[in-house]
Amino acid sequence: MKTRKLLALAMALVMMLGVASTAFAEDAVTQLPRNETLYFAGQQWGTVATWNPIGVNQNNAMATTAQAIGSRTIMFETLYMYNFMDGSMTPLLADGDYAWNEELTEMTVKLNAAAKWSDGTAVVADDVVATWDIAIKIQNGTATNYAAYIAGIEAVDASTVSIKSAVNAEGAPVNPLKVVEFLGNAFIAQKGWIDTVVARNNDDATAILNDAAEDVVYSGPYTKFVSNDQQVVLVRDDNYWGQDASMWGSLPVPKYIAHTIFADNAAGETAFKAGEVDVCQQFLPNIQDLWLKDELPISTYMEEAPYQVCLTMPTAWFNMNIAACNNVALRKAIALAVDYDSIIANAMTNQSPTFADVPRSMMNPTAGEQALYDHDAVADLQWAGNDVAGAIALLDEAGIVDTDGDGWRELDGEKVSLNACCPNGWSDWQAAMEIVADAGKNIGVEITTLYPEWAIYQTVFTNPNQTEYSIFMYSPDGAGPAQPWGRVRQFMGGDLIGIENNWTGNWGQYTNARIDEILAEIPLTTDEAALNALYTEAVEIYLTEVPNFSLMYRPAVFHEVNESVWTNYPDATDGRNIPPADCTDGYGIAALYGLELVNP
């Protein structure tokens, strides 16, 4: 990173002449001090609807994004902060580590005595209980994600909560991993404010869910400042409790967090290159050209390819409702023949490790997940792609051959004719689907591409009975305390079969009884060797059965920063263990406390 940081210093004065101040609409604010403002792109794509931490449909990316890879804690806070670099959970509103009982049916969490709400009152156990109770009552996102795993939350005393696991018929916890995920995902709201919202909405769940929450009480370091159809700005609360020695020991460095609402990715990219945006969460093709060719003071988490930390794997799903897709030899032959290196080079412009670098499994490339299975045990089942000869041999051996001389193979007397689908306009995914279609051509299997609009696509692939798409793309989850268990479930979990409007996983409707047994065992297995054996068996089944195949690795969030104004962002060489998570997500928010001005 040293080369680019020196370049940043050299370019800073030139860049700042053009962006010394940023103008806003006359009905908002006229100017923010550039040396006090951190600008973002790629997150907020429309006017904020609400500031409601217990609501839905907020369209408030900067303040209310709750996610397993680490919720965005700029304004509302979670009990812990997840770090996808090492899987750790750092206390935020909590004090110290959480503690399980021996049976994993009850977890105890202590609260930080210094934690305060924006109105100066203490964050107490009753706030956590009220947050859970209202979630169950109005069935918000917290309830949707965790009601199956948490039976209830009780206050032990003012600073201690007990989280009860949901249990099965035998009294065993359903899934302790999801209970841990709750700690870093769910925003905690103030009981007094919840009571106010309930009262003013006459106890109506729909109204509570959609309350605009202009009077919201928060515990985080920033609060709303400007919000309109042109920008969202949050301002630092200089009374923020986190400056206590028990937490950060200081305030975050930028006074303002700002996000212009750009028309599209291209507009955001232009502003980023001009130094009008500091932190960009967009896929930028050939990102390295911005410093190698354009000599801009732009950097990523890693100076060399793949530049980013990849957490998820956009995947091609075989539709088991289509007869041909139920043939394992055909599935594996198609997967073997795809040129993944071409996908990574062209669709991802090398912002992904190859499958030779990180052999395929169901684990993302992070060290923690890669350590969870025995690589040697499954090495003979893994493939890096572009193995046309191997795919042809597999099809020939299975009797899937061309009998009528038209150049296309038949299965059970019918020409194999499939389609490969993804949403129109998702250019990198479309490029990948074209390469899948080319692989079919190379092995005598007809695969045509189909690109419906997203509005149509989302209604089809989530339909468990659909027969319109035979091979289609969607991404499993990235990182989180319940991963890679959750991803194994998404790839092959039988409990996800037949779900209407299915956004959860197993979109191909694959079933395997042994996988379901493994999925039940993993969350209750604490012995590392036994856990490794279970994950290894699951990977072996996956690579043998090929119910779907990942096409690339991809970041859950992109980390691209312009160092014309601010520097000292996290990078892979600095030893701070801050994840590249937009300086806002999970433990990634630690970045805000280390930023430095290029020209103080």
Q: Which of 62, 74, 92 is nearest to 222 (CA)?
A: 74
Same domain, 301 and 162: no
Q: Token pair for residue 174?
A: 């359903």
Could you tell me if 35 and 52 lie in one domain? no
Average pLDDT for 375-381: 98
CATH number for position 129: 3.90.76.10
pLDDT at 324: 97
3-state secondary structure of 286: coil
pLDDT at site 11: 46
- Tell me the average pLDDT across 380-399: 98
pLDDT at 8: 46
Q: What is the pLDDT of residues 119-164, one digit of tens each?
A: 999 999 999 999 999 999 999 999 999 999 999 999 999 999 999 9
- Judge if 379 and 503 occupy the same domain: yes
Q: Where residue 21 sits, what CATH number does that domain have?
A: 3.40.190.10
417 and 429 part of one domain: yes
Q: What is the mean pLDDT of the chain?
A: 94
398 and 539 belong to one structural domain: yes
Q: For residues 329 and 274, state if they share a domain.
A: no
Does 582 score more than 70 pLDDT? yes
Domain that holds residue 18: 1-42+222-308+556-600
Q: Are residues 471 and 561 in the same domain?
A: no
Q: What are residue 99's DSSP bridge partners?
A: 108
Residue pair 69/311 in contact (Cβ under 8 Å)? The answer is yes
Long-range pairs for 178-181: beta carbons < 8 A, 24 or more residues apart: 178/145, 178/146, 178/148, 178/149, 178/150, 178/482, 178/523, 179/107, 179/146, 179/149, 179/150, 180/89, 180/98, 180/481, 180/482, 181/68, 181/82, 181/145, 181/146, 181/480, 181/481, 181/482
- Of 220, 252, 275, the last residue of a domain is 220
Residue 1: the pLDDT is 47
Run of H or E including 40:
strand 37-41
How far apart are the C-alpha atoms of 93 and 70, rounded to whole Å? 14
* Token representation of residue 232: 């969202």
Question: What is the torsion angle, in degrees rounded to the nearest 10, for the CA atoms of residue 86, residue 88, residue 91 and residue 93?
Answer: 90
More confident residue, 151 or 15: 151
Tell me if 183 sits within 8 A of 109, measured CB to CB. yes
Residue 15: its pLDDT value, please?
41
Q: How confident is the model at residue 221 (pLDDT cuts 50, 70, 90)?
A: very high
Q: Are residues 364 and 380 in the same domain?
A: yes
pLDDT digits (tens, 9 = 90+) for 322-371: 999 999 999 999 999 999 999 999 999 999 999 999 999 999 999 999 99
User: How many other C-beta atoms can be found within 10 angstroms of the C-beta atom of residue 449?
Assistant: 15
What count of residues does the chain have? 600
pLDDT at 18: 38
Which DSSP helix (H) or strand (E) runs through 134? helix 125-138
**Do residues 322 and 338 both lie within one domain?**
yes
So what's the pLDDT on residue 21? 34
Q: Both tokens of residue 354?
A: 């190859």
pLDDT band at residue 16 under the 50/70/90 scheme: very low
**What mean pLDDT is predicted for residues 163-174?**
95
Helices (H), 420-512: 427-442, 454-461, 485-492
% of the chain residues with pLDDT over 90: 93
Same domain for 50 and 37:
no
Q: Is the pLDDT of residue 513 over 50?
A: yes
Residue at which a domain ends, from 174, 192, 220? 220
In degrees rounded to 5, what are phi and psi of residue 347? -70, -40
327 within 8 A of 488, measured Cβ to Cβ:
no
pLDDT of residue 427: 87
pLDDT at 17 over 50: no
Burial of 245 (0-12, 13-18, 19+ CB in 10 A): exposed
DSSP character for 112?
A: P
Burial class from Cβ neighbours inside 10 Å (0-12, 13-18, 19+) for residue 160 reads middle
Residues 390, 518 within the same domain: yes
Sequence-separated (6 or more) residues with CB below 8 Å from residue 355: 340, 382, 383, 384, 385
pLDDT at 457 over 70: yes
Task: Note whether 537 and 442 are same-domain residues.
Answer: yes
Confidence band for 451, pLDDT divided at 50, 70 and 90: very high
CA distance 494 to 172: 20
Q: Which two tokens stand for residue 351?
A: 């912002």
Q: pLDDT tens digits, residue range 50-92?
A: 999 999 988 999 999 999 999 999 999 999 999 999 999 999 9
pLDDT at 20: 36
> Across 210-344, where does the E strand assignment appear?
222-227, 231-236, 256-260, 279-280, 298-300, 315-318
Q: Is the pLDDT of residue 27 over 60?
A: no
DSSP state of 329: H
Domain of 518: which CATH number?
3.10.105.10
Domain boundary among 550, 571, 588: 550
Judged against a pLDDT cut of 70, whether residue 9 lies above it is answered with: no
- The angle at the Cα of 580, spanning 346 to 571, to the nearest 5 degrees, equals 95
pLDDT of residue 23: 36
User: Which stretches of 321-461 are DSSP H helices?
Assistant: 328-337, 340-342, 367-370, 375-378, 388-397, 427-442, 454-461
Q: What is the pTM of this model?
A: 0.90
Left (φ > 0), alpha (ψ -120 to 50) or beta: where does 363 sit?
beta
Token code pair at residue 370:
């890669």
Query: What pLDDT, on a 0 to 100 scale, did the predictor assign at position 57?
Result: 86
Mean pLDDT of the 182-210 span:
97
Nearest-CA neighbor of 131 among 109, 106, 104?
Answer: 109
Say how far apart CA 287 and CA 352 lie, in whole Å. Answer: 12
Q: What are phi and psi of 110, to 5 degrees?
A: -90, 145
Can you give the pLDDT at residue 302?
Answer: 95
Q: At 222, phi and psi to the nearest 5?
A: -130, 160
The total number of structural domains that make up the chain: 3
Contacts of 406 (CB under 8 A, 6+ apart): 415
